[in-house]
Amino acid sequence: MSNQPKPDPSDAVYSQEVSAERPWSRILKRGQTLRIVDIEGQQAVDALLYCAEDPAERYSAQDTLRVQGSAYVELGTKLVSNKGRIMARITADTCGRHDTSAGCCSCESNAVRFGEPTKYQHACRENFILELSKYGMAKRDIVANLNFFMNVPIDPSGNFTVVDGISAGGNHVDITAEMDVIFVISNCPQVNNPCNGFNPTPVRVLVWDQPAV
Amino acid sequence: MVERTKAEISEANRRRYGELRAAGQEATPKALPQATALDGAPIAPQAVISREEVPPGWYDTVRLRRGEALRIVDTSGLSSVSVIGWCERDPSERLNCADTAKVQWSAALSKGRVILSDMGRVFLSLIEDTSGAHDLLVGGSTPASTLAAFGESARNTRDNFLAAASKLGLGLRDIPPCVSFFAPVSLDAAGRFVWNGARKRPGDFVDLRAEVDLVLVLSNCPHPLDPARPAAGGAVTLVRHRAPPAAADDPCRTTSPEIVRAFQFTDRLYA
């Protein structure tokens, strides 16, 4: 596993803190590397990728898992589009495991999972809808997303559980784009399950022009 | 009213999560009904609305009214059937594999389980199921997967979904991750996908009861993890029929507090 924090953060062309519970997006050019830093630890970061040239081509969780042959996103994972092309790769990872099967939280699924009052709590899908609207997209464009720093073990019997995050404060994951992509993040506001340690916190995003490795 | 501190709210939420998890992964599985026998659950002839044979490699689009059911029969035991669907009145509401697994605390579908939409509603109930051997995680075949497997392009689920969506005025943006029936995929301890071919039998079937008015697309293509391809594949039979009305103690509606709520929200559409 690549644990070296390279390239040097001082060389980043962009650095921004994303407040707890807020969305963020940016166009990553082919060859650029995005780093997401889990500043305080145990903070899930939901993410979607769209081909900048034609956003109908977008990240596909099922294609990514089929190509990889295993269920978790980790160092080396190729992020595959719904047209079978590699959009990006995980080029560094100090956390060790990320999810792409559990989707994002929504007001509607929260109401089902945790009771009707939780319908009126902010959720990732609200963030995604607002951020995607900047690119002319809408709810129909929200596909099964990546969940960086989120720990969702699936056991041989099929048990599927969001459990306490394994990400420590300062852990990071690097994603290197292999095509120009719209990279969209929701810094997850969920307070009803352990994906954020029941306490959403800020993350930092940095961009470099060169690949991380 | 005493204001609760952030820590107290976190602790209460953690406790509730632990209780829901225990119910979802310990009590619920014990309460699920037994698998349907291969010769069980015959459909009364007068309940049949229509039948269709879908040849290997092909797809069909089926509209189901709330309360109708679709039986999918893997007659040869060699097929897998990948399914997507939309709410008829608003196709931005669609089948959602992630919420289906998350809400039920399980990626394993079997009799008594349901398939959810992205809007917290139940699309389909598995009212009969002989195998409990289905896939929510890996998805169907694609141009790339068939090229890699066969060395040439072949009919595949992604192209089938695109063709079916296009005939409804929808497109690539509208195709969600799919459920694949008769696709016994599980994970080993390291998280690698495993194909359990022994869990497929000729004549396996599943009955899906529509809980909202739906449009389904069903693609009869070999699952990309099926090592038997390209020999795999036979026709599958689709039988649209009028399901018996759901009773108050219907197993699919009562498996957990989450599912009870999902049905409450679904029923409100028709209240």
User: Does residue B50 belong to the interface with chain A, where contact is any CB pair within 8 Å?
Assistant: no
pTM of this structure: 0.96
Question: How close, in Å, is residue B259 to chain A by CA atoms?
Answer: 7
> Which chain A positions have a beta carbon within 8 Å of B171's beta carbon?
56
pLDDT at A1: 43
Extents of the domains making up chain B? 32-268
CB pairs under 8 A between A and B: 158
**Which chain A residues contact residue B108 at CB under 8 A?**
157-158
Distance CA A53, CA A51 (A): 5
pLDDT per residue as tens digits for the range B72-117: 999 999 999 999 999 999 999 999 999 999 999 999 999 999 999 9
Q: What is the pLDDT of residue B206?
A: 98
CB B121 within 8 A of CB B93: yes
- Residue B33 DSSP symbol: P
Q: Which of B92, B96, B108 sits opposite A158 (nearest CB)?
A: B108
Residue B46 Cα, gap to closest chain A Cα (Å)? 36
pLDDT at B233 over 80: no
pLDDT, tens only, B134-178? 999 999 999 999 998 888 888 999 999 999 999 999 999 999 999
Is the residue at A11 inside a domain?
A: no
Render pLDDT for A156-201 as a digit per residue (tens, 0 to 9). 999 999 999 899 999 999 999 999 999 999 999 999 999 999 999 9
The answer to whether B94 and B173 have CB atoms below 8 angstroms apart is no
Per-residue pLDDT of B182-219, as tens digits, reads 999 999 999 999 999 999 999 999 999 999 999 999 99
Q: Compare all CA atoms of chain A with the CA of B17 and give the residue at the minimum distance.
A: A193
Model pLDDT, residue A2: 47
Domain membership of residue A118 (yes or no) is: yes
Largest CA distance in chain A: 47
Q: Does the beta carbon of A135 lie under 8 angstroms from any beta carbon of chain B?
A: no
Q: How far is B70 from chain A (nearest CA, A)?
A: 25
Residues of B in contact with A56 (CB under 8 A): 171-173
Instruction: Give the ipTM.
Output: 0.95
Q: Considering only the beta carbons, identify the residue of A84, A101, A194 that sits closest to B137.
A: A101
Mutate to test the interface with B, among A140, A151, A190 (most CBs of B within 10 A): A140
Burial A41-79 (b: 16+ CB within 10 A, else e): bbbbbbbbbbbbeebbbbbbbbbbbbbbeebbbbbebbb
Full domain range(s) for residue A83: 16-208
- Mean pLDDT of the A150-154 span: 95
Mean pLDDT of chain A: 94
pLDDT of B222 over the 50 cut: yes
Q: Please, which pLDDT band fits residue A95 given cuts at 50, 70 and 90?
A: very high
Within a domain: A2: no
Lowest mean pLDDT among B37-46, B47-56, B74-83, B248-257: B248-257
Quick one: average pLDDT of B238-259?
92
How many domains in chain A?
1
Test A154 with B174 for CB contact under 8 angstroms.
no
